[in-house]
Structure 1
Amino acid sequence: MSKVDSRIILKVLSRNLFIIAGAVLSCAGIALHYSEDVKPFLYTFLFALIPGLIFFLLSRRSGNDVNVSKREAYVTVTISWLVIAFFGCLPYIISGAIPGFVNAFFESVSGFTTTGSSILVDIEALPKSILFWRSMTHWIGGIGIIVLVIVVMPALHLGGYHLFTLESSLQEKIQPKIKSVGLRLLYIYLFLTFAEVIFLLFGHMPLFDSVCHAFGTVATGGFSPKNTSIAEYSPYIQYVIMIFMLLAGTNFVVHYFIVKGKFKRISNNDELKFYLLIVLVVGLMITGSLYFKMHLPLEESFRAAFFQVISIVTCTGFASADYLTWPVFAWVLIFFAMFLGGSTGSTAGGIKMVRHLIVFRNIRRVFRQLLSSNAVIPVKLNKSPISEETNNSILTFVTVYIMVFVAGSLTMVALGLDDRTSVSAVATCMAGIGPGLGTVGPVSNFAHLPEAAKLVLTFLMLVGRLEIYTILSLFTRSFWTN
């Protein structure tokens, strides 16, 4: 058996718990402001702080600049997300806002993984402080609790590039040092959040709603403090959220290059062009369907179509309309869009655009080689050939993703769900989107599902958020042997 250094796990967990403790304490301030019960947050603060201090003391002799192996990174990241989700569900349980551990844990995992699937039937009946915590779990999860550990806790010297890449799927370094990368991402993340709040306030959205929706948008999460999500807000607000969803689903490296004025690097980014092209094509196809089939006004057709397409592609999950009432052609396109995902290095989930692009280029290479069997045709990305190892890794990932989706869907059917609900629930939870089809559509929720189904979907949310291999590898014998 191969050993995993427990001190590394405890060191990371202690920082994670400190962040959770600080976050819930800020929600206690919200509770005081609205004259609500502060005990759920104070109790959670203590429950997180005390083990955090114990773990810190137990791990402080682990030394600095410890080299983290891939095995230790996999275990640490997985345990971190489970612990974060567990402590994150305590305010729901202590306040009585969500009765039952399974429901509270589902909501917590959905928040931190930025999925946005919910078991809440009447969201607006909850205290504002609980709704703020619910949205904050998105915001924390969006940038990635592991990145926050590296950025906020500089005393953690783990040489943690493994931790960062496993969590955020960032494929292109901005700076050679991981802490520099994390800081620049955090600055961009904070700027986008602040900017969206300002733009929403200009549209006369209340400050509380603006902050909650900014948390959900920039994190591509989808939790809204309103039962109707974005549907009752003005067209201006819908356009603002639409634009920021698109920005949040873009590789944060692209945002960095914009700030630095490196526009040539942006113009050479194949994934960005593919991402925008897919959104444009699918959006226009659904716009046409709404305009010609449902005879909606052109602007309303355009806004409804592109809002839902951007929301699904970026895995945000906000809804401005019930797409299940649309023509079959439109909502079938929405379903397939659930498998797209945003860009790498963004807060979006899913398979990711660059992987789809590589798959298409492999298909094109096969046809070209049929015409010229002796030709050596490399698969290129950003005008540079990628290695066969990288190419095979991407193709394998997409294959495994589909296999997990099929296995999850069959499991849901075996638990008694209808076909449409089963496949869409699995697709939306794996990709971190939120709403699905059938009985878990945009105007429905996941409350009616059996507890076993909720546990399966909770597991799939974590699997999807950590990009399949991180968790699934823990169930292989080879992972635990030398």
Structure 2
Amino acid sequence: MTARRRSRLGVDLGAVFDLVGGVLRWVGLAFIAPTLVALFAGEAIWPWLAAGGAASGTGLLLDRLTHERRADRIGQREGFLVIALVWLLVPVFGALPFVLSGEPQLSAPVDAYFEAMSGFTATGGSVVPSIEELGEATQFWRQLSHWLGGMGIIVLAIAVLPRLRVGGRRLLQSELAGPTELEKFGATIRETARNLWSLYVGLTLVATLVLASVGWLGLDPAMTPWQAFAHASSAMALGGFSPQGESVAAFAPISQWILVVVMVVAGINFLRLFNVIFKQRAKELLRDEEVRLYGGFLLVATALLLAELLRSGDYAGEEAVRQSAFQATSIMTTTGFATADYTLWGSLATVTLLLLMFVGASAGSTGGSIKVVRHLLLFRIVRRDLAQAAHPHVVVPVRKNGIVVDEQALRSTVLFVLLYLFVFALGSLGLVIDAERTGVELSAFDAIGAAASSIGNVGPAFGDAGPYGSFASYSNLSTAILTALMWLGRVEIVPVAVLLTRTFWRP
């Protein structure tokens, strides 16, 4: 990448728009599926055709405007801009059918965009008070957008777009959630993206079949094939959308336990999972320090919730264990499913669930939030700095899985966490100020929960936005704030923060 090949702004906008256009062309094809659902359900198909045509048409227009394929010019700065634009624009087209179809609960553009952003970012928060009243095509699109966004639209683009043979590595590194080690995967970037999506599709099919078999065997009559697909795809994406207003509480305990397993698996780094499944490297997974800390967080959180539920006397035996394990897993992995209204649980459970929103799953998974590996590195940075405070001349390297982590990676970790907490605080403040302005009843804790849930791509929060509620009562401005937090959480903040600096645009 040379300076003369960039635009005068220091960023090759032609390469950026060319790549964004290619992604949008493929996104347009995704609307074929809800079009077919609408056709068989006897619903209007033109909103879906119009949205798909708009997405693909915009992509073709951008391709024409750039004149040539220039993805080989994708550098670090171009990659940041592509990531930010794709995750802003795709939900725009995803929201079009909601508005065009005249869905009463999603007719306002700000609400439609919120719902689409929540879907594609695999957040799972909703402004829809009555999910069951949505049209069949709309319900299917919500679930499909979840699944597409879970592994990542750009990862899919890298897998299918030939133009991304050179710039794909930078994009994939930026797109995968959390700091990941692509070099250890041992394949070309395009093969890596294809392997990730193949694994993702395969695990989704297995989860769907297992859940559907529970229904076929009569163990859970409510688990129809449609419900099995909807919840398996949502669980693999760590999203949380459900066609059921009461979420997973609508199903039998066996289905809930199966979904716990699916969520735990989906919360593990997919690069690690690939090595375990296809290269028989199970010991590598067991030795991985992030996986061990991930399991430790889940066990401690489950124990805390279980202690609270047993103390209150509302649950006992297997049900208490299941409720604790399910909610701990669902919130920590940023899925957002629910088997009970946890807002009615005690203070210990409430605080535990709020803190879990800041933990997240593993890097390289489909989850959001800070990620376990960053907590691991922060713990060791603090331990090193405390050791050096007592012994200034001692050199204490920070290691992960026995390998020394370079200082740039450590600085990036600290930078991300600081930006994450700063944006979270701003979002919480914005929600409180807007609630005061509009006279909406929103406690400080509920505002904190809503901001934490949105930026962490968790989904449900507390108060009106609890697991059986929605964000429908929030004003347009608050809805927009939450939408921005979801977007920032999905792109992991840094790309957008870099765009706001002067040095980004300079040659």
- TM (normalized to structure 1)? 0.96
Match of 1:458 in 2: 483
The alpha-carbon deviation at position 24 of structure 1 amounts to 0.8
Match of 1:385 in 2: 404
Match of 2:320 in 1: 301
SS of residue in 2 equivalent to 1:197 = helix
Pair 1:271-2:290 in alignment: yes
Match of 1:153 in 2: 161
**Distance in 1 between residues matched to 2:11 and 2:501, nearest whole Å:** 15
Within the candidate set 112, 118, 127, 2:126 is matched to 118
The Cα offsets for residues 187-221 of structure 1, whole Å up to 9 and x where unpaired, read as 11001110111011012111111111122111111
Shift in CA distance, 476/293, structure 1 to aligned 2, threshold 3 Å: same
Match of 1:87 in 2: 93
The Cα offsets for residues 349-405 of structure 1, whole Å up to 9 and x where unpaired, read as 000000111111222223434554432211110011212222122122212211111
The Cα offsets for residues 271-322 of structure 1, whole Å up to 9 and x where unpaired, read as 0000011001111121122123225122111111111111111101011111
SS of residue in 1 equivalent to 2:72 = coil
Within the candidate set 172, 177, 180, 2:188 is matched to 177
**Distance in 2 between residues matched to 1:299 and 1:248, nearest whole Å:** 24
Match of 2:36 in 1: 29
**Distance in 1 between residues matched to 2:209 and 2:61, nearest whole Å:** 41
Two-structure CA RMSD over aligned residues (Å): 1.6
Within the candidate set 10, 21, 28, 2:17 is matched to 10
Pair 1:348-2:367 in alignment: yes
The alpha-carbon deviation at position 155 of structure 1 amounts to 4.2
Shift in CA distance, 54/369, structure 1 to aligned 2, threshold 3 Å: closer
Which one is further off, 290-299 or 209-218? 290-299
**Distance in 1 between residues matched to 2:264 and 2:153, nearest whole Å:** 22
The Cα offsets for residues 433-479 of structure 1, whole Å up to 9 and x where unpaired, read as 00112221111110110101111111111111111111122122222
**Distance in 2 between residues matched to 1:463 and 1:479, nearest whole Å:** 18
Match of 2:209 in 1: 198
**Distance in 1 between residues matched to 2:230 and 2:480, nearest whole Å:** 26
The question of whether the paired residues in 2 share the 8 Å contact of 1:426 and 1:460 is answered with yes
Within the candidate set 300, 313, 335, 1:281 is matched to 300
Match of 2:255 in 1: 237
Match of 1:108 in 2: 116
Aligned ranges for residues 427-442 of structure 1 at < 5 Å? 427-442=452-467
Shift in CA distance, 115/236, structure 1 to aligned 2, threshold 3 Å: same
Within the candidate set 297, 303, 312, 2:331 is matched to 312
Aligned ranges for residues 329-340 of structure 1 at < 5 Å? 329-340=348-359
The alpha-carbon deviation at position 222 of structure 1 amounts to 0.6
**Distance in 1 between residues matched to 2:283 and 2:130, nearest whole Å:** 48
Within the candidate set 427, 443, 449, 1:424 is matched to 449
The Cα offsets for residues 388-436 of structure 1, whole Å up to 9 and x where unpaired, read as 2221221222122111111111111111142012111110000000011
Read off the aligned partner of 2:471 and give its amino acid letter: F
The question of whether the paired residues in 2 share the 8 Å contact of 1:220 and 1:348 is answered with yes
SS of residue in 2 equivalent to 1:203 = helix
The question of whether the paired residues in 2 share the 8 Å contact of 1:120 and 1:447 is answered with yes
* Count of equivalent residues: 481
Read off the aligned partner of 2:190 and give its amino acid letter: K
**Distance in 1 between residues matched to 2:311 and 2:463, nearest whole Å:** 24
The alpha-carbon deviation at position 158 of structure 1 amounts to 4.4
SS of residue in 1 equivalent to 2:30 = helix
For structure 2, which runs of at least 5 residues remain unmatched after alignment? 1-7, 216-222, 436-441
For structure 1, which runs of at least 5 residues remain unmatched after alignment? none
Percent of aligned pairs with the same residue? 34
Which one is further off, 152-161 or 410-419? 152-161
The question of whether the paired residues in 2 share the 8 Å contact of 1:287 and 1:302 is answered with yes
Aligned ranges for residues 33-72 of structure 1 at < 5 Å? 33-59=40-66, 61-63=68-70, 66-72=72-78
**Distance in 1 between residues matched to 2:389 and 2:152, nearest whole Å:** 44
Match of 2:139 in 1: 131
The alpha-carbon deviation at position 81 of structure 1 amounts to 1.3
Read off the aligned partner of 1:175 and give its amino acid letter: G
**Distance in 1 between residues matched to 2:10 and 2:503, nearest whole Å:** 13
- TM (normalized to structure 2)? 0.92
Pair 1:142-2:167 in alignment: no
Match of 1:449 in 2: 474
**Distance in 1 between residues matched to 2:403 and 2:290, nearest whole Å:** 13
The question of whether the paired residues in 1 share the 8 Å contact of 2:450 and 2:461 is answered with yes
Shift in CA distance, 388/10, structure 1 to aligned 2, threshold 3 Å: closer
Which one is further off, 66-75 or 8-17? 8-17
**Distance in 1 between residues matched to 2:361 and 2:256, nearest whole Å:** 19
The question of whether the paired residues in 1 share the 8 Å contact of 2:453 and 2:460 is answered with yes
Pair 1:400-2:406 in alignment: no
